[in-house]
């Protein structure tokens, strides 16, 4: 397995409420830290890498039109983000280090 600092973005599309609940339960179970302010987007920090997440979640989104994308995020010192009107407290506290908060609005 990858180091505990692996961070991913999981984006699901055209999923129903049952699929959303299953993905959310898996993210909560497998993640050390996670963020889920948007209905079909999760940011997770865990021991799982992109391949692990894909294997874990693919059964919840088995075929089109539903789909799933999992993206690896860069290591902490290379993470940048921009916030909008949503609550991004989690990002300020967990996602990146103090030195990387240059793009915050």
Domain annotation covers residue 101: no
**pTM of the prediction?**
0.69
In a domain, residue 61? The reply is: yes
Eight-class DSSP state of 32? E
Residue 35's domain comprises 6-74
Residue 26: inside a domain, yes or no? Answer: yes
Straight-line distance from the first to the last Cα atom of the chain, in angstroms, rounded to the nearest whole number: 36
In a domain, 68, yes or no: yes
The answer to whether 44 and 26 have CB atoms below 8 angstroms apart is no
Residue 45 lies in a domain: yes
Residue 102: pLDDT above 50? no
Are residues 25 and 60 in contact, defined by beta-carbon separation less than 8 angstroms? no
Domain count, the chain: 1
Q: Is 102 contained in some domain?
A: no
What does the CA dihedral 25, 40, 37, 33 come to, rounded to 10 degrees?
40
Residue ranges in the chain assigned as alpha helix (H): 17-30, 50-57, 89-90
Domain-located, residue 94: no
Backbone angles phi, psi at 32, to 5 degrees: -75, -40
CATH number (domain holding residue 65): 3.30.70.240
pLDDT in tens, 23-73: 999 999 999 888 888 899 999 989 999 999 999 999 999 888 889 989 888
Is the backbone of residue 102 left (phi > 0), alpha (psi -120 to 50) or beta? alpha
């Amino acid at each position: 397995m990858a180091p505990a600092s692996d961070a991913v973005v999981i984006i699901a599309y055209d999923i129903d409420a049952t699929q959303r609940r299953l993905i959310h339960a898996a993210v909560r179970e497998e993640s050390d830290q996670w963020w889920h302010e948007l209905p079909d987007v999760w940011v997770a920090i865990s021991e799982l890498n992109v391949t692990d997440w894909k294997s874990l979640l693919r059964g919840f989104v088995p075929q089109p039109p539903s789909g799933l994308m999992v993206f690896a995020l860069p290591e902490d010192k290379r993470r940048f983000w921009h916030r909008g009107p949503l609550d991004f407290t989690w990002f300020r506290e967990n996602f990146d280090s103090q030195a990387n908060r240059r793009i915050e609005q």
